[in-house]
Amino acid sequence: MMRIFSSGSSRQTQQSQPAHQSLSATQMQASGPFQHQVRVVSPQTLQSMDLAAQVQQEVRTQLGRGGNQWLPLVADQGESAMRGIMAVRAADRFSHEASERFTQRFPDAATGLDRAYASGHSALRVQGGHCQEFADLAYTQVAARGANKPVFNTLYNNDHVLVLLGDKRQEDPVVLDAWQHLPIVTTLENSRLDPGRLDVIQQRNDPRPDPHAQWALRHVRTMPMAEIEDILTSTTYPPVGKKFVKHMVESARAKEPGRYDVRSLAKDPSTRFTDDPARAAKPFDVMSASSLSSTRRTIEKYEQAAAADPGGYGKAKRF
């Protein structure tokens, strides 16, 4: 049975509120003070933002948090990190198994199983991953639903993988990235990304749902955490807990620049969006009260650790 991570809800309820009302601009890694601006976008862009929010929540539910980031390591004592390690180690094996099953299910398919679909399927097997697995699963989720605009799996600065909804040559695309610690949806123009550093890995232009992507998301044989832990502790790693965290900190100490600390790709998370100036604008940083409280504690705990041990926790990579 697939383990469900507690990552909050993207729907705004009485128990939910925009993250920027509880977290500071510094805590959210905004480019400056919150401006509370309203941006008017096309109805199609707003629909894409809603789709991105749904997909990000789905991916977070299925994969938890990014396995190569500091904040998840602090929050769950290494479970996300261990799942991420296994996702990388088992990627080729699980993708090969999925491709073989795909050929049996679709013997008349003109091509084999799409690489991103196979990668997304593999990530579901271990319920975790790094940015590549998060992006591939999100790309697969969008393809399974269908989208009314081009969908791009992109490489940023030769260092990070994310999904864009919309062609940046024609419009302001929507950034879809469930790997960022705070799953905030924004547009490329309102992001901290440099458009000139984005390279397309692959793209999909067909608005129809893809049955191959739908197949890749179904009938996934998940690997229990106990099995993952048994495999990794038999070679290099301590079990999940304080010893594992210490091991990862010491590993980061010997590397440059260490693990990632990427909280939000939004330049200003307080920005709200609407497709009609006469209507109330919508925030896209809404989180449940429990998730916000947990996130605040995790950020404070990490920043205390980084201040006390800048050579370990303090060695962090950002975009």
- The pair phi, psi for residue 195, each rounded to 5°, is -55, -30
Question: What mean pLDDT is predicted for residues 3-8?
Answer: 39
Closest residue by Cα to residue 28 from 307, 313, 308, 287 = 287
102-148 pLDDT, tens digit per residue, is 999 999 999 999 999 999 999 999 999 999 999 999 999 999 999 99
Host domain of residue 143: 16-317
Domain assignment present for 6: no
Question: Is pLDDT of 8 > 80?
Answer: no
Per-residue tokens: 233: 């502790």
Tell me if 9 is assigned to some domain. no
**298-307: long-range contacts, CB 8 A cutoff, minimum separation 24:** 298/71, 298/74, 298/75, 299/23, 299/27, 299/71, 299/263, 301/74, 302/70, 302/71, 302/74, 302/261, 305/74, 306/70
Indicate whether 1 belongs to any domain.
no
Q: Of 192, 195, 173, 257, whose CA–CA distance to 25 is shortest? A: 192
Contact 67, 86 (CB under 8 A): no
Residue 252 lies in a domain: yes
Which pLDDT score, from 0 to 100, does residue 256 have?
Answer: 79
Domain contains 139:
yes
192 within some domain: yes
- At residue 46, the pLDDT reads 97
Give 4's pLDDT tier (boundaries 50, 70, 90).
very low
At 168-224, the pLDDT tens digits run 989 999 999 999 999 899 999 999 999 999 999 999 999 999 999 999 999 899 999
Please enumerate in sequence order all residues whose Cβ is within 8 A of that of 63, keeping only pairs 6 or more positions apart, or say none.
5, 83, 123, 124, 127, 128, 129, 133, 134, 137, 178
| Token representation of residue 120 | 């997304």
| Domain count across the chain | 1
